[in-house]
Amino acid sequence: EPLIAGGGHEHGLRSGTENIAAIVGFGRACELAMTQSTARREQLDAQRERLERCVLALGGTVFGAQALRLPNTCYFALDHIDGETLVGKLDRAGFAVASGSACSSASPEPSRTLTAMGVPPEQARGAVRVSTGAMTKMQDVDDFCSALAQVADQLRGLRAMAEA
């Protein structure tokens, strides 16, 4: 059966003419991706390393730090700081981050992956995921680290006041 009704192109399977410009563009994009992949990975690795040094300096935990993982993603928690609260504060500071895992970000339950890794539920509930990309500059990472430190200090100050 034809996928789209119309002319007899592709032995009656598809009507219309191939989008040659898109095909050529996709081919060129693949060439660029292949030639730039090593440099891009090095850039992303350096950004993630700087981000993770910042998290560790704030007394946080980086999940899977010793595992083979994506170069652009850091999954972390700051002790005694709720992940959803941290996400909201960072969002208001202009940074798009998420709590929980990408496949279950709508669930309030701690990540099953983190709990399977032996992470206590209270720490897993604090998990936040941040990713960098091809357009991310090291200055963006530094700005994020500054905002993270400021927000962490603010939230820890509130916690200390509540405990007093």
CB 127, CB 111: distance < 8 Å? yes
Active-site residue flag, 103: yes
CB 72, CB 131: distance < 8 Å? yes
Q: Please tell me which residue in 30, 74, 103, 145 is annotated as part of the active site.
A: 103
- Run of H or E including 130: strand 128-131
CB 77, CB 123: distance < 8 Å? yes
Determine what percent of the chain falls in helix, strand and coil, rounding each to the nearest 5: 55, 10, 35
Q: What is the dihedral of CA 146, 150, 151, 152, to 10 degrees?
A: 100
SS3 60: strand
* Active-site residue set: 103
